[in-house]
Structure 1
Amino acid sequence: MSQQSNIEENLKDLLSLLSKGQFIEAQEKYLSDDVTLTEGNDTPKAGKANVIAQEKEVLSGVGEFIRYEASNTAVNGNVSFYEGVMEYIQKDGVHVKVEQTVVDKWENGKIVSERFYHA
């Protein structure tokens, strides 16, 4: 199986986890220990443990997960792309809908770099 086929399979599984709201499980399974994650033009977050800790903090404010849907997936070499829509209600009642494009760089079955471009 080629590297691109492996990435396609991993991406499919990753998106399945996200669609169920299993964000921490997806990060634990697919982020490399030395990952960098960038939200838009913010300063990158470095390291799997740091990224997961910050994700847990964000998720602690979520009252109701509504959906995470991905579309328009593509893999080219060791890079995957997809469009995602995430929707949830915060514990304070605020309804949040995020539309984003996600670009992941993969090595040895793990994401080494992830960047989110938000609408």
Structure 2
Amino acid sequence: MAVSAPVIFLINNISTMDFVQQVHHLYNLLEAGNPVEAMELYYHEEVAMQENEEKPRMGKAFCIQYEKGLMAQVEDFQARVLAQAINVEEEIVFTEMEIGFTRNAQRHLIREVSRQKWQDGQVISEKFYYKEVEVLG
């Protein structure tokens, strides 16, 4: 069966392929255990990040500082994308992830869904939805 070339549209001067590749690269960095690098590359200077209904964290520098603080407290960070939906036209990404880490000699697991709004090739807002952190032992 012949494989046809991908159809590429231009939306906001960004090709759909470029946008999808950026999203995939960000999540590849997360899965490789590099969330700070992903944020440095793909998060907007004025990003807003929110956990459930908590007050959003505002600004790339503050969000990166917060993430570095979290990562300093954990060992054996692992992230895995379970499912993802990318709306290229609206630049919105929904991702279901499973995140595991060890803190204080206990293994923790989070299953979450995030909603990202992208603008000009960067995440301008992100909200995480999850029930609780499960302690495995």
TM bucket (normalised to shorter chain) is over 0.9
Could you tell me how far apart the structure 2 residues matched to 1:20 and 1:72 are? 17
* Cross-structure match for 1:86: 99
Corresponding residue SS for 1:42: coil
Could you tell me how far apart the structure 2 residues matched to 1:96 and 1:13 are? 25
Bigger Rg, which one: 2
Could you tell me how far apart the structure 1 residues matched to 2:94 and 2:40 are? 20
* Cross-structure match for 2:117: 105
Q: 2:47 aligns with which of 35, 46, 61?
A: 35
Could you tell me how far apart the structure 1 residues matched to 2:19 and 2:130 are? 23
* Cross-structure match for 1:6: 18
Q: Which amino acid aligns with 2:95?
A: Y
Q: Considering Cα pairs closer than 8 Å and 6+ residues apart, tell me whether 1 or 2 has the greater RCO.
A: 1
Could you tell me how far apart the structure 2 residues matched to 1:83 and 1:113 are? 16
Shift of 1:94: 1.7
Q: Is the contact made by 1:7 and 1:80 (CA closer than 8 Å) also made in structure 2? A: no
Higher relative helix content: 1
Unaligned runs of 5+ in 1: none
Could you tell me how far apart the structure 2 residues matched to 1:84 and 1:6 are? 22
Could you tell me how far apart the structure 2 residues matched to 1:63 and 1:104 are? 26
Q: 1:63 and 2:94 equivalent?
A: no
Corresponding residue SS for 1:82: strand
Could you tell me how far apart the structure 1 residues matched to 2:32 and 2:95 are? 17
Shift of 1:109: 0.3
Could you tell me how far apart the structure 2 residues matched to 1:37 and 1:68 are? 18
Percent identity reads 26
Instruction: Give the alignment's Cα RMSD to 1 decimal.
Output: 1.2
Could you tell me how far apart the structure 2 residues matched to 1:6 and 1:42 are? 32
Unaligned runs of 5+ in 2: 1-7, 132-137
Q: Is the contact made by 1:7 and 1:75 (CA closer than 8 Å) also made in structure 2? A: no
Q: Which amino acid aligns with 1:106?
A: W
Q: Is the contact made by 1:34 and 1:46 (CA closer than 8 Å) also made in structure 2? A: yes
